[in-house]
Chains A and B, each alone.
Chain A
């Protein structure tokens, strides 16, 4: 259960990467654009002549600011769609549409209720917002994630639904937006009643902060960070920044309310000797962890990424860190570890809170337009002078934070093996997927057919390559889209005795049991397992091995795959009396055309000859196999042979056992004829030789019944 939750959280975390990848760019546009179009900033730095409202430079900066801003304003929609895409198993384009429409519907339901209950005025302050033109509750990114996860769950549940004949047009993927719309209509109604109490509780927290001095500043910092994932931080800090909750001061004869308003009034006033710490305590704390701490955390994530992934994650982490440093937009970085390692986010919240408190204690008074990046530090700290702001004190605290963040993150990631970017297992997605498939498979009636069906499907080039499937008395008759994707060797591994190609038509000869094979294949095609990506050759080998076990269980047959590429000859034609007479066992021989001997089945190496010219394998079922490379090659004393396995080692079908130098062996006058015999054939049953002529390594050569 724990693993399952963790697995889901990991997928959620990964599904965030798509929208997050956009944030650094949007953040830079917004940060630079808004700083240099802020009238207060422009006046304070006497830039009003260069950057004039309506002027070219101003307009360009304004476009940057607005386009960056629109991304952040609609972050919830991006997450509604992005998370849904990330979490959907397939038919992702449908889920994107459903995510968008559900988000609109949920907010519209809320909006209609707000109007019905007396409009925005009747709601508590700072609890509503306008989103995509819809007046709705301020739910931030949380609203989007709520939609994304729900829509993906509905999609995965219903995208294959079959409706009664008359309604069949609305079945399958078309049903997904329909059901999502209805569900999110209800979710909107529920949220209208559920969300305001949550918002009210947060507003109460604000009162607590005010009554607790330095500790209150710490609590403020922790809560502000902790609310970011839920998009509730605005509800929390805006009252401090913009209302009397953040203080009330008379500046130049005017009463100013709210921390940020006080700061900017002091900035504009010539009478200011020092900025009020009672106001900046709600802002300055951001600088140490945004400029120093989080980038150090990014470095720790980079250093702990697997070497081959460093290049890939380096770009993501660097741009996210740069955004945090320059603009104080931290979500791109925070969301990279929030879901894969929540404990790291907890640590981050505590340290961030401490940063606010330290700045309060040290009387550092640097304000900000909206966040604590380098741009704001320079504009409102450095350029104001140390006398007014004590900004120099940010530097030692910042360096301390960099060290703390780096080592804490480095330690936590290594200790708990958190899957931060670049540490995920490559095939995780597939693994999660197959494990689930496995459960479904166990639940289904015919468990054994799947690996055979999977092999057949792989041999036919995958589900997408199938156009039509039928069978006659002994043959599977298939029409494929691309005949080149058909793999005869895989089909033969699945038990076919032959494959016939006619254009895009493929006939796979199985014998009279073909009708069972066909119906099992059809059932398999309807199961999600059939959609798993084909990963050759490992998958084919694994399934072939699995299949050989299953077929053994069902029919007591052991299947050997060719260990060599070459030409099959009957054992009687081997130029050695003992082998030809079957004294060493029953089997076949191959005249190899490539100097590599592979394992013909799963088993254990029971002996590698000292002279390396022969090898014995024993299978789990006790089948003893001797493979003897060339004739009289014992005389070569190991010259020209390289063995890649040791006595006692377990091998799987297709593992390289011995490589040999064909020229060298022939130059010594030894034939290359390689008998492959079952030493204890008489104990096992009949040996059926199913290959003749040219074979490739991995094709079935014989079956022991």
Chain B
């Protein structure tokens, strides 16, 4: 299991498009990617749930990756976050 934290810097937060891209990134791996904010957790492959989190600029999210390809997946997500968000 890999855990990482990230604070959103994009002024628009995780709105529709970034959520779609994040979700797609997560789905590319077999590991389960969970995103937690303020005590609620969603599976990153569930786009609708992810959008429903309403993650805004300045929010800190905790990402938990678990599965056979967890380290690659965590790396990919980390790269995505720092590039887009």
Residues of A within 8 A of B (CB): 576, 578-579, 583-585, 606-607, 609-611, 614, 616, 618, 624, 626, 628, 634-635, 679-680
**Minimal beta-carbon separation of B24 from chain A (angstroms):** 5
19 new A-B contacts, CB < 8 A, other than A578-B21, A626-B16, A626-B51, are A583-B20, A583-B21, A584-B16, A585-B47, A606-B48, A607-B48, A607-B54, A609-B15, A609-B54, A616-B51, A616-B52, A624-B47, A624-B48, A634-B12, A634-B15, A635-B12, A679-B48, A680-B46, A680-B47
**Minimal beta-carbon separation of B29 from chain A (angstroms):** 16
Residue of chain B at shortest CB distance from A628:
B16
Is the Cβ of A606 less than 8 Å from the Cβ of B52?
A: yes
The 10 tightest CB contacts between A and B, nearest first, are A584-B20, A624-B48, A583-B20, A679-B47, A607-B52, A634-B12, A578-B17, A634-B15, A679-B48, A583-B24
Question: Which B residues touch A606, using CB under 8 A?
Answer: 48, 52
List 22 contacting pairs A-B, 8 Å CB cutoff, sorted by A.
A578-B17, A578-B20, A579-B17, A583-B20, A583-B21, A583-B23, A584-B20, A606-B48, A606-B52, A607-B48, A607-B51, A607-B54, A609-B16, A609-B54, A610-B13, A614-B16, A616-B51, A618-B48, A624-B48, A626-B48, A626-B51, A680-B46
Residue of chain B at shortest CB distance from A607:
B52
A611 in contact with B47 given A578-B21, A583-B20 (CB within 8 Å): no
**A-contact bits for B33-57, CB 8 A (1 contact / 0 none):** 0000000000000111001101010
**Minimal beta-carbon separation of B76 from chain A (angstroms):** 15
Question: Which A residues touch B19, using CB under 8 A?
Answer: 584
Give the B interface residue count (CB, 8 A): 17
Q: Which has the most chain B C-beta neighbours within 10 Å: A576, A579, A609, A680? A: A609
Question: Which A residues touch B21, using CB under 8 A?
Answer: 578, 583
Residues of B within 8 A of A (CB): 12-13, 15-17, 19-21, 23-24, 46-48, 51-52, 54, 56
Question: Which B residues touch A618, using CB under 8 A?
Answer: 48
Is the Cβ of A610 less than 8 Å from the Cβ of B16?
A: no
Q: How far is the CA of A439 from the CA of B20 in the complex (A)?
A: 48
**Minimal beta-carbon separation of B10 from chain A (angstroms):** 10
**Minimal beta-carbon separation of B48 from chain A (angstroms):** 4
Q: How far is the CA of A614 from the CA of B23 in the complex (A)?
A: 18
**Minimal beta-carbon separation of A641 from chain B (angstroms):** 13
Q: How far is the CA of A614 from the CA of B13 in the complex (A)?
A: 14
**Minimal beta-carbon separation of A578 from chain B (angstroms):** 5
Q: How far is the CA of A624 from the CA of B47 in the complex (A)?
A: 9
Question: Which B residues touch A579, using CB under 8 A?
Answer: 17, 20
**Minimal beta-carbon separation of A651 from chain B (angstroms):** 16
Question: Which A residues touch B12, using CB under 8 A?
Answer: 611, 634-635
Q: How far is the CA of A609 from the CA of B13 in the complex (A)?
A: 11
Residue in A611, A624, A679 whose CB lies within 8 Å of B15: A611
Is the Cβ of A584 less than 8 Å from the Cβ of B52?
A: no
Residue of chain A at shortest CB distance from B48:
A624
Is the Cβ of B17 less than 8 Å from the Cβ of A610?
A: no
Q: How far is the CA of A187 from the CA of B56 in the complex (A)?
A: 81
Q: How far is the CA of A680 from the CA of B46 in the complex (A)?
A: 8
Residue of chain A at shortest CB distance from B56:
A610
Is the Cβ of A616 less than 8 Å from the Cβ of B48?
A: yes
Q: How far is the CA of A585 from the CA of B12 in the complex (A)?
A: 21
Q: How far is the CA of A362 from the CA of B51 in the complex (A)?
A: 83
Q: Which has the most chain B C-beta neighbours within 10 Å: A584, A610, A624? A: A584
Q: How far is the CA of A634 from the CA of B15 in the complex (A)?
A: 8
Question: Which B residues touch A584, using CB under 8 A?
Answer: 16-17, 19-20, 47
Question: Which A residues touch B54, using CB under 8 A?
Answer: 607, 609-610
Q: How far is the CA of A626 from the CA of B21 in the complex (A)?
A: 14
Q: How far is the CA of A628 from the CA of B18 in the complex (A)?
A: 13
**Minimal beta-carbon separation of A295 from chain B (angstroms):** 62
Is the Cβ of A576 less than 8 Å from the Cβ of B51?
A: no
Q: How far is the CA of A618 from the CA of B17 in the complex (A)?
A: 18
Question: Which A residues touch B56, using CB under 8 A?
Answer: 610
Question: Which A residues touch B13, using CB under 8 A?
Answer: 610
**Minimal beta-carbon separation of A683 from chain B (angstroms):** 10
Q: How far is the CA of A618 from the CA of B48 in the complex (A)?
A: 9
**Minimal beta-carbon separation of B56 from chain A (angstroms):** 7
**Minimal beta-carbon separation of A218 from chain B (angstroms):** 72
**Minimal beta-carbon separation of B59 from chain A (angstroms):** 12
Question: Which B residues touch A680, using CB under 8 A?
Answer: 46-48
Residue of chain B at shortest CB distance from A617:
B48
Q: How far is the CA of A628 from the CA of B20 in the complex (A)?
A: 12
Question: Which B residues touch A609, using CB under 8 A?
Answer: 15-16, 51, 54
Q: How far is the CA of A568 from the CA of B46 in the complex (A)?
A: 27
Q: How far is the CA of A606 from the CA of B42 in the complex (A)?
A: 14
Residue in B17, B46, B48, B52 whose CB lies within 8 Å of A576: B17
Q: How far is the CA of A441 from the CA of B50 in the complex (A)?
A: 44
**Minimal beta-carbon separation of B17 from chain A (angstroms):** 5
Q: How far is the CA of A610 from the CA of B16 in the complex (A)?
A: 11
Question: Which A residues touch B52, using CB under 8 A?
Answer: 606-607, 616
Q: How far is the CA of A628 from the CA of B48 in the complex (A)?
A: 13
Question: Which B residues touch A624, using CB under 8 A?
Answer: 47-48
Question: Which A residues touch B20, using CB under 8 A?
Answer: 578-579, 583-585
Q: How far is the CA of A585 from the CA of B20 in the complex (A)?
A: 8
Q: How far is the CA of A166 from the CA of B60 in the complex (A)?
A: 87
Q: How far is the CA of A579 from the CA of B47 in the complex (A)?
A: 13
**Minimal beta-carbon separation of A328 from chain B (angstroms):** 71
**Minimal beta-carbon separation of B53 from chain A (angstroms):** 9
**Minimal beta-carbon separation of B33 from chain A (angstroms):** 16
Q: How far is the CA of A389 from the CA of B54 in the complex (A)?
A: 86
**Minimal beta-carbon separation of B64 from chain A (angstroms):** 22
Q: How far is the CA of A609 from the CA of B14 in the complex (A)?
A: 10
Q: How far is the CA of A628 from the CA of B24 in the complex (A)?
A: 18
Q: Which has the most chain B C-beta neighbours within 10 Å: A579, A610, A618, A634? A: A634
Q: How far is the CA of A71 from the CA of B21 in the complex (A)?
A: 82
**Minimal beta-carbon separation of A574 from chain B (angstroms):** 11
Is the Cβ of B48 less than 8 Å from the Cβ of A614?
A: no
**Minimal beta-carbon separation of A614 from chain B (angstroms):** 5
